[in-house]
Amino acid sequence: MARRTVSILGATGSIGTSTLDLIERDLETFEVVALTAQRDVAGLAAAARRTRARLAVIGEEALLPDLSAALAGTGVEAAGGAGAIIDAAALGADWTMAAIVGSAGLRPVMAALERGRTVALANKESLVSAGALMTRAARASGATLLPVDSEHNAIFQCFAPEAPEKIRKIILTASGGPFRAASRAEMASATPEQAVRHPNWSMGAKISIDSATLMNKGLELIEAHHLFPVGADRFEVLVHPQSVVHSMVEYVDGSVLAQLGTPDMRTPIGHTLAWPARMATPAPRLDLAAIGRLDFEAPDYDRFPALGLAQAALAAGGARPAVLNAANEVAVAAFLERRVGFLDIAAVVAEVLERYDPPAPASLDDVFAIDSAARTRAAEVMERLVT
Ligand code: NAD
Ligand code: MG
C-alpha cells in the first residue's frame, strides 16, 4: 500500500482503538498526523507515543497540562479544547477516522470533509442530524466519504452506484440487541448493566444502549438514506441475531447481494483504510460450518418503538432527525445515570418530537440551535417523569 497520512478523531474509544490496532501493525505505511480524545489523557498519550503522532488533542481543555506532561520529551505536540479538535480535523490527513460519539462529532466531521480528503465515518450522529449539509460539503470539496458502520460498509460493498434505480430494496440487518426476546416488563426494569451487554459486538456505552432500544437501527436507516441515493421507502430492517450478514442490497432482477463476516469492526475499518484496495486484518475468520445456521425475523415495533420513531423522522425529513438524535442522546445519558428507566428513552424521544417541530436546518449553526432546543425539551420531559 502507498504511504499515507492518517488522523483519528476519538482515538481512545471502541472504534478508535480498533483503528489504532490496524494502523500500529504498519507504521511504515500509516503516518499518524493527529489523535484526539475527550478525557482519557493516559490512553491518548500512550497511543500518540506508540504511533509517533505529530499532534495529540484532548477535548477537555483543563486536562491540557496533564497531556503536555505525559508527552514531555516525546516530540508529540499537545493541544486542548473543542476548537483544537476541529483544527486537528482540518489538518487534512489523507485519511481521517471520524469516531467521536454523538453530536460532538459534527463540527470535526465537517472540518475534515471540507478539506476534501478521505473521511472514514463512524460518527453516524453527524449524518442523522446534518446529513444533507455533510453530503453537500463532501460533494463541494471532492471528499470521499467511506462508511465504517458495519451495515453501511456492507451496503457500500454491495451497492452498484451506476444503477441506483435498479435497486429494489436495501435491507439493514439488526442483531435485535440484548432484549430481542425480553418481555416489556423485563425491559421496564432493565438496568444499564443489562442494556450495555450486547450479544455480539463490543462497543461504546451510547451505541450499546441504542442497540438495545433499536434506536441504533433507526439512526442507521437515516444514515443509509444520506449515503445511498435511493428513496426513503426502500430501506428495511431485518432482525438477524447472529450478526453475520451485515446488510443486503436487493436488485430488480431478484438478486440479493450481502456482505458477511464475523462481528469485528476491524473488518469494515480495514476496508475503509485500504479502499479501493484490500488489506489483511486480524479479525477472526468466518466459519459458517461451525455457526451452522443463520436466523432472521421481522422487527417488533411494539416493544421497540424507537425504530418506528426514527422511520417517521426519516420519512418526514427536515429537522426531525436532528430532534430525534438530540432527544435520544439526552435520554440515553439519563438512563446510563439511572435517572430514567429503559422504556422511558423512546417515550422521551416521542414526546420531544411531538412538542418541537422546527423548520429544516440550513446551516450547521441551525443544527446546533435545534440540537440544543431539543435537549432542553428532553430535560423538561424527564423532569416530569422523575417527579
Ligand atoms: P466510545 O464511547 O467508545 O468512544 C468515543 C470517542 O469519542 C472517545 O475517544 C472519546 O474520547 C471521544 N469523545 C467523547 N465525547 C467527546 C466530545 N464531547 N468531544 C470530542 N470527543 C469526544 O464510542 P464508540 O463506540 O467508539 O463509537 C464512536 C462512534 O462510532 C459513535 O458515533 C458510534 O455510533 C459509531 N459506531 C460505533 C461502532 C462500534 O462498534 N463501537 C459501530 C458503528 C458505529
Ligand atoms: Mg451498525
This model of the complex carries an ipTM of: 0.99
Tell me, using a 6 A CB cutoff, whether residue 10 lines ligand 1.
yes
To test the pocket of ligand 1, the residue of 207, 223, 336 to mutate (highest count of ligand atoms within 8 Å of its CB) is: 207
Q: Which residues contact 129 (CB under 8 A, 6 or more apart)?
A: 103, 106, 321, 322, 325, 326, 367, 370, 371
Pairwise CA distance, residues 313 & 325, whole Å: 10
Q: Give residue for cell 482515538.
A: 11
Tell me, using a 6 A CB cutoff, whether residue 153 lines ligand 1.
no
Each domain of the chain, given as residue ranges in start order, spans 4-148, 149-307, 317-387
The CATH architecture one would assign to domain 4-148 is 3-Layer(aba) Sandwich (3.40)
Give me ligand 2 centre to Cα 219, in Å.
Answer: 9
At the top level of CATH, the class of 317-387 is mainly alpha
Give me ligand 2 centre to Cα 207, in Å.
Answer: 9
Cα-based torsion angle of the residue sequence 141, 143, 147, 152 in order, rounded to the nearest 10 degrees = 60
What pLDDT score was predicted for residue 202?
87
What pLDDT score was predicted for residue 371?
98
Phi-psi sector, 53: left (phi>0), alpha (psi -120 to 50), beta: beta
Tell me, using a 6 A CB cutoff, whether residue 88 lines ligand 1.
no
Q: Which atom of ligand 1 is nearest to the CA of 12?
A: 9
| Contact indicator for 212, 179 with CB cutoff of 8 Å | yes
| Contact indicator for 56, 33 with CB cutoff of 8 Å | no
Q: Which of 216, 210, 225, 272 minimizes the C-alpha distance to 131? A: 225
To test the pocket of ligand 1, the residue of 100, 119, 209, 223 to mutate (highest count of ligand atoms within 8 Å of its CB) is: 100
What pLDDT score was predicted for residue 297?
98
Give me ligand 1 centre to Cα 343, in Å.
Answer: 23
Give me ligand 1 centre to Cα 162, in Å.
Answer: 32
Q: How far is CA 374 from CA 110, 273, 323, in A?
A: 21, 35, 6
Q: What are phi and psi of 93, to 5 degrees?
A: -65, 160
What pLDDT score was predicted for residue 22?
98
Same topology, domains 4-148 and 317-387? Answer is: no
Tell me, using a 6 A CB cutoff, whether residue 59 lines ligand 1.
yes
| Contact indicator for 289, 337 with CB cutoff of 8 Å | no
**Mean pLDDT, each 10-residue run in order, the chain (387 residues):** 95 98 97 98 98 98 98 98 98 97 96 98 97 98 98 96 90 97 97 93 94 98 96 96 98 97 98 97 98 98 98 98 98 97 98 98 98 98 87
Tell me, using a 6 A CB cutoff, whether residue 151 lines ligand 1.
no
Tell me, using a 6 A CB cutoff, whether residue 217 lines ligand 1.
no
Annotated binding site for 1-deoxy-D-xylulose 5-phosphate: 124, 150-151, 175, 198, 211, 216-217, 220
| Contact indicator for 296, 239 with CB cutoff of 8 Å | yes
Give me ligand 2 centre to Cα 194, in Å.
Answer: 19
Annotated binding site for Mn(2+): 149, 151, 220
